[in-house]
């Protein structure tokens, strides 16, 4: 228990904060400093894998682009497949898509139509939960396709933005590191 808490503290200290990036007022949480450390990458990988082991997860979905770093690692560790959710126009085969509101204008994410089956138990991963708009769109997309169960994971949650509150109450949302901003 002590080690687990110490490890989470190490991860938290490993994320670099960049004030006013990309625009004034944003405290940007830079995960590249965490990933470049062999020790921190191993801690993140083991902690997340332990969190989701034994749940029967069949596919780990990563959201472009920072979700593409941990998601394949988790997929491999959990003996699951990896599926990308990408921005509009990047996936080559037939897609389902979901449009969502961003701070300025709209955005679209897509997934291959043949990526999932109704038997899949899904873990969707992204690096960070802010307002929740991006993950909510991914959640809606997967829900529309119809799978057995959806788990949602983030490395980082910006708690003050209350992103988790836009999901249905019983949604399984877990994050490793929490910050108030």
Q: Which residues bind ligand AMP (CB under 6 A)?
A: 26-29, 66, 126-134, 163
Q: Structure tokens of 34? A: 């965490």
Q: Structure tokens of 57? A: 């997860």
**Shorter beta-carbon distance to ligand AMP: residue 28 or 82:** 28
**Residue 157: active-site member:** no
Angular region, 152: left φ>0, alpha ψ -120 to 50, beta rest:
beta
Which residue in the list 66, 86, 157, 164 is annotated as catalytic?
A: 66
17 vs 45: CA distance, rounded Å: 21
**Shorter beta-carbon distance to ligand AMP: residue 59 or 66:** 66
Residues 6 or more apart whose Cβ sits within 8 Å of residue 46: none
Query: CB of 33: closest distance to ligand AMP in angstroms?
Result: 12
Place of tokens 């836009």: 166
Query: CB of 123: closest distance to ligand AMP in angstroms?
Result: 16
**Residue 9: active-site member:** no
Which residue in the list 101, 103, 164, 174 is annotated as catalytic?
A: 103
Residues recognised as catalytic = 66, 103
């Amino acid at each position: 228990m002590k080690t687990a808490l110490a490890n989470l503290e190490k991860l938290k200290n490993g994320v670099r904060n960049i004030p006013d990036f990309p625009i004034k007022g944003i405290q940007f949480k830079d995960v590249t400093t965490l990933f470049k450390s062999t020790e921190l990458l191993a801690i993140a990988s083991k902690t997340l894998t332990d969190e989701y082991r034994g749940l029967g997860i069949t596919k780990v979905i990563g959201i472009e682009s920072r979700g593409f770093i941990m998601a394949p690692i988790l997929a491999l560790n959990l003996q699951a497949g990896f599926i990308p959710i990408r921005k509009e126009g990047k996936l080559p085969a037939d897609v389902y898509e979901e449009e969502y509101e961003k701070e300025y204008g709209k955005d679209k994410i897509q997934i291959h139509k043949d990526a999932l089956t109704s038997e899949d138990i899904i873990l969707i991963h992204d690096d960070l939960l802010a307002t929740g708009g991006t993950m909510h769109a991914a959640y809606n997309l997967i829900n529309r396709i119809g799978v057995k169960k959806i788990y949602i994971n983030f490395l980082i949650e910006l708690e003050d933005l209350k992103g988790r509150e836009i999901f249905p109450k019983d949604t399984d949302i877990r994050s490793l590191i929490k910050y108030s901003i």
